[in-house]
Amino acid sequence: MSLRSPALMLLPFAMLAGGCDRQGAAPAQPPASAAASESGAAAANADPAAGEAFTGKLDTSAKGAAMPDLTFADPAGQKLRLADLKGKPVLINLWATWCGPCVIEMPTIEALAAKYDGKLTVLAVSQDLGQKDKISALFVQKKFVRLHPWLDPDNALSSHYNTGVLPTTVLYDKDGKEVWRMVGGHDWSSAQTDELVKAVVGG
Question: What does the pLDDT read at residue 3?
Answer: 54
Spatial distance between the Cα atoms of 13 and 97, rounded to a whole number of angstroms: 9
Question: What does the pLDDT read at residue 170?
Answer: 98
Alpha carbons within 13 angstroms on the beta-carbon side of residue 136 total 9
Q: Tell me, what amino acid is at 182?
A: M
Question: What does the pLDDT read at residue 53?
Answer: 75
Q: Is 8 exposed, middle or buried (0-12, 13-18, 19+ CB in 10 A)?
A: middle
pLDDT tens digit at each of 203 positions of the chain: 555 433 333 333 333 345 787 333 444 544 433 333 344 444 434 455 566 779 899 999 999 999 999 999 999 999 999 999 999 999 999 999 999 999 999 999 999 999 999 999 999 999 999 889 999 999 999 999 999 999 999 999 999 999 999 999 999 999 999 999 999 999 999 998 999 999 999 86
Question: What does the pLDDT read at residue 20?
Answer: 83
Spatial distance between the Cα atoms of 129 and 143, rounded to a whole number of angstroms: 23
Question: What does the pLDDT read at residue 18?
Answer: 58
* pTM for the full predicted model: 0.79
Question: What does the pLDDT read at residue 49?
Answer: 57
Question: What does the pLDDT read at residue 35?
Answer: 39
